[in-house]
Amino acid sequence: EDQVTQSPEALRLQEGESSSLNCSYTVSGLRGLFWYRQDPGKGPEFLFTLYSAGEEKEKERLKATLTKKESFLHITAPKPEDSATYLCAVQASNGGATNKLIFGTGTLLAVQP
């Protein structure tokens, strides 16, 4: 069964303290891995798509990497405005015509000034 596991569940950082979030996945053929950010009371906001092992994407203080079993979201010198829940999702290539995303339960990040 396709599955996504994120760790840690919650992470508290001081402003400027770099860290990484983990997303482990089990899927029968990866079509794509997606990172989203979700603020309280809002819908998930798209951050990155990764398609193959070794691929990396960057946006401001965020960098996403992908291996055959997991993805990391590295946060460099975070600021309080980076506080949010970060969601990882996979799309399976055996899904046929479907584009459905299988989500992890997210990592709640709090960055303190």
Partner 1 sequence: DTAVSQTPKYLVTQMGNDKSIKCEQNLGHDTMYWYKQDSKKFLKIMFSYNNKELIINETVPNRFSPKSPDKAHLNLHINSLELGDSAVYFCASSLQGRTEAFFGQGTRLTVV
| Contacting residue, 41, 54, 60, 68, with partner 1 by CB under 8 A | 41
Q: Do 4 and 104 form a contact (C-beta atoms < 8 A)?
A: yes
Q: Identify the helix (H) or strand (E) that includes residue 35.
A: strand 30-38
31 is a contact residue toward partner 1 (CB under 8 A): yes
Bridge pairing between strands 107-112 and 10-14: parallel
Q: How far apart are CA 35 and CA 8, in angstroms?
A: 15
| Contacting residue, 13, 23, 27, 44, with partner 1 by CB under 8 A | 44
| Contacting residue, 13, 101, 109, 111, with partner 1 by CB under 8 A | 101
Instruction: Return residues touching partner 1 (CB under 8 A).
Output: 31-32, 34, 36, 38, 41-46, 49, 51, 85, 87, 89, 91, 97-103, 105-106
